[in-house]
Amino acid sequence: MIRLEDVSKRYPNGTAALQDVDLAIDQGDFAFLVGASGAGKSTLIRLLIREDLPTTGRVVVDDKDVAQLRHSQIPQLRRLVGVVFQDFKLLPTKTVTENIAFALLVTGHGGQIVREETERVLALVGLTHRSTHFPRELSGGEQQRVAIARALVNRPRVLIADEPTGNLDPVTSWEIIKLLTRVQELGTTLVMATHNAEIVNALRRRVIHLDHGAVVRDEREGLYAA
């Protein structure tokens, strides 16, 4: 589903954020991306969603080199790959329903589909009762669940989460992790960047460890000593 071939990323200021990364993540997999702050986790994620391009090497998602995508093919990648961030990135002037529906509108859907699919993902994350609320009226955990619903509404085959529990307390973090685990069990490939060792060690999934932009360890049922 995802392949990085000899990928390096050097920012214009000279920082080498990724160095010779080779990686393959299969459809349906659950992979943690771990490593200290600055190790290159977010950079790797930005390459996967084509928010940035590798300096050298290839990033392949669903058999397509993302750097080679034409402008008109980028919405396709956005439908294929959902993403959630540490700071939720909800639109403050839109309600919960409108935030989710927006993701469908920008991928060209309208009418009945928008209503049905928005209700479907709201139920999936357990927030049907919050549909008319604004983000500022929700707790952090609820806001992250809205962000997850928005990421899932286009039925992506891959869900990427960059430190999704970074702004949440431990109890709320576990609720989010349980939700993400359920999403993966329903068939979505899950890639989650985190430096929360407790979560990584409790779940025993694949652990890809980045250090100064290089993969230093990649283990099934791995552990992480932060």
Ligand X SMILES: Nc1ncnc2c1ncn2[C@@H]1O[C@H](COP(=O)(O)OP(=O)(O)O)[C@@H](O)[C@H]1O
Contact set with ligand X (CB under 6 A): 11, 13, 15, 17, 35, 37-43
- For 79, phi and psi rounded to 5 degrees? -75, -35
A 10 A CB-CB count for 116 gives: 10
130 binds, among Mg ion, ligand X, none (CB under 5 to 8 A by kind): none
Q: Mask of contacts with Mg ion, 29-48, x by CB under 5 A?
A: ------------xx------
152 binds, among Mg ion, ligand X, none (CB under 5 to 8 A by kind): none
Q: Is 196 in the site for Mg ion (CB under 5 A)?
A: no
Q: How far is the CB of 12 from ligand X (least distance, A)?
A: 7
By CB under 5 A, is residue 165 in contact with Mg ion? Answer: no
DSSP 156: -
Taking a C-beta distance cutoff of 8 angstroms, is the pair 47, 65 a contact? Answer: no
Helices (H), 65-224: 74-80, 96-105, 112-124, 140-152, 170-185, 197-203
- List the single partner that 107 binds among ligand X, Mg ion, none, CB under 5 to 8 Å by kind: none
Binding site for Mg ion (CB under 5 A): 41-42
